[in-house]
Amino acid sequence: MEILVASFNEHKIEELKPLFVSHRLLSPVDLGYGEMEIEEDGSSYFENAFIKAKALYMLTGMPTLADDSGLSVATLGGAPGIHSSRYGSKDGRQKLSTAERNALLLAEMEGVKDRACAFYCCLVFLYGPDRFLSVQETCPGALMEIPRGEGGFGYDPLVFLPELGKTVAELEPEVKNMVSHRGRAARTMNVLLQSFDPRR
């Protein structure tokens, strides 16, 4: 099945493709759409994923997969959370770079002993105006004091997985796909899609 991914983040799309090998994932750019601003004003990962899925579904009529994900730090009351990609940005100014966001988060956590955190991922597959499937998963870890690792993207160099002894950015792609929030959510979504028939 051809599925449109409601994202202009090429890193995210490339990470999703090997997780959905039975389907052909397309980006909006593949269909000739330039980057557009979708206002993610929901109060949860699910609401923001649904907003993105619906925006692209209404534009194209294609079955659409949207991902909303982020990093939640316990001591910060769950921040950056749903604002992870816009963390530290002020009204009227551009988003911070990945390095700037990571540095800001580490500065806010300087000297804090409780460094428990978790990645969250909510996937929404929308195949009709009011017909959808949704899955949410997590990947718990501990926040590093300095970044480590060159792989992945976003906050990956900051999140240490004690059971593997590595940060997410130090994992081989195959291992990351097994343990990450996005990999876990994708496996469950794939099970749901095995019985999906858009004609019904």
Q: Is CATH 3.90.950.10 the classification given to domain 2-194?
A: yes
pLDDT for position 93: 58
Residue 138 has which token pair?
């997590």
Domain boundaries, the chain: 2-194
**Residues in contact with 194: Cβ distance below 8 Å, sequence separation at least 6, in sequence order:** none
pLDDT for position 198: 61
Residue 178 has which token pair?
């097994």
Alpha-carbon distance values, 64 to 35, 47, 173, 186 (Å): 16, 15, 24, 14
Contact 158, 105 (CB under 8 A): yes
Q: Rounded to two decimals, what is the model's pTM?
A: 0.91
| Per-residue tens of pLDDT for the chain, all 200 residues | 999 999 988 888 888 898 899 999 999 999 998 888 888 889 999 999 999 999 999 999 999 999 999 999 999 999 999 999 889 887 645 678 999 999 999 999 999 999 999 999 999 999 998 899 999 999 999 999 999 999 888 999 999 999 999 999 999 999 999 999 999 999 999 999 988 766 66
Amino acid (one-letter) located at 66: A
> Given 30, 68, 130, 156, which residue is catalytic?
68
Question: Is 68 one of the annotated active-site residues of the chain?
Answer: yes
